[in-house]
Amino acid sequence: MSLRLGDTAPNFKAVTSKGEIDFYEFLGDSWGVLFSHPADFTPVCTTELGRTAQLQGEFDKRNVKVLAVSVDPVDKHLGWIGDINETQNTTVEFPLIADDNRIVSGLYDMIHPNASATATVRSVFVIGPDKKIKLTLTYPASTGRNFLEILRVIDSMQLTAKHSVATPADWNQGEDVIISTAIKTEDALKKFPKGVKEIKPYLRYTAQPESN
C-alpha cells in the first residue's frame, strides 16, 4: 500500500555500506531523506549520489540525515562508491542500503511493476523528527533529481513547522512568506513585528521569521 503524507514512516533494520542500522535509531531526532536507485553503476544515479555527497554540509546544517537504497548487495555498493568518489570529485559519507531482499523496497512501495518488476523506482521520502512522512517525490529514470529543490523544500517545512506561515511559489530562504489564513490581521500585526503586507484578506505577506 502506498505511503501518503502524514503517514508514519516504516521502521526497518538493514545492512548498509556503513554496517547494520536500525532506521529509527539512525535518524534519532533528525530529519531524514531516504532515496532509492534502480541499480548500482547507473549513470544518472552516479551523478545524484555524487551531488548529495557534495551537499553533505548543507544537509548537516539542517539536521538532516541522508540514506540511499538500492537492491544490489553491499560489495557492489562499495565498488560503486569508489566510482562515485572518483568521477564526481567527492566523498560519499552517508550509508547505502543493500536491499537485495527487497524489504525496504516493499515497505516504501519503491518497486512499480510497470517500470520494473525487480528494480526500485527513483523515489524520495523526506521524514520529520516525528517519523512522519513530510514529502514524497518519484522521478522518471531519465531525469536526475534536483537536490537543491529538496533542500529548498526542507527549508520551507522546517520554517513552517515553527511559525504560522506558508511559503509561496518559487520561495527561497530569506524571502517573504505567506501568513496563515487562520490568523486575523490584527493578530498578525502583533505576531509579525516585521510588518504585514495585505494583497487580499486571504493573501498577506511578511518577512521571513527567524529560523531559531
Taking 60 as the threshold, does the pLDDT of residue 168 lie above it?
Answer: yes
- Interstrand relation of 64-70 and 96-98 (parallel, antiparallel or unpaired): parallel
Residue range 43-73, pLDDT digits in tens = 999 999 999 999 999 999 999 999 999 989 9
Instruction: Give this prediction's pTM.
Output: 0.91
Mean of the pLDDT values across residues 198-209? Answer: 95
The number of angstroms, rounded, from the C-alpha of 201 to the middle of its chain's C-alpha atoms is 33
Residue 26: predicted pLDDT:
97
Taking 80 as the threshold, does the pLDDT of residue 74 lie above it?
Answer: yes
Taking 90 as the threshold, does the pLDDT of residue 205 lie above it?
Answer: yes
- Interstrand relation of 177-179 and 197-200 (parallel, antiparallel or unpaired): unpaired
Mean predicted lDDT score pLDDT of the chain:
92
What is the band of 212 on the pLDDT scale with cuts at 50, 70, 90?
A: low
Residue range 104-136, pLDDT digits in tens = 988 998 876 555 555 566 899 999 999 999 999
Q: Confirm if 50 and 94 have CB atoms less than 8 A apart.
A: no
Helix axes 43-54, 74-88, angle to 10 degrees: 70
Taking 90 as the threshold, does the pLDDT of residue 101 lie above it?
Answer: no
Catalytic position from the list 14, 45, 124, 159: 45
CB within 8 Å of 150: residues ≥ 6 apart: 33, 124, 126, 135, 137
The backbone region for 195, taken as left when phi is positive above 0, alpha when psi lies in -120 to 50, beta otherwise, is left
What is the band of 102 on the pLDDT scale with cuts at 50, 70, 90?
A: confident
Residue 141: predicted pLDDT:
80
E strands, 38-139, where? Answer: 64-70, 96-98, 122-127, 133-139
Please indicate whether residue 45 is annotated as part of the active site: yes
Taking 90 as the threshold, does the pLDDT of residue 210 lie above it?
Answer: no
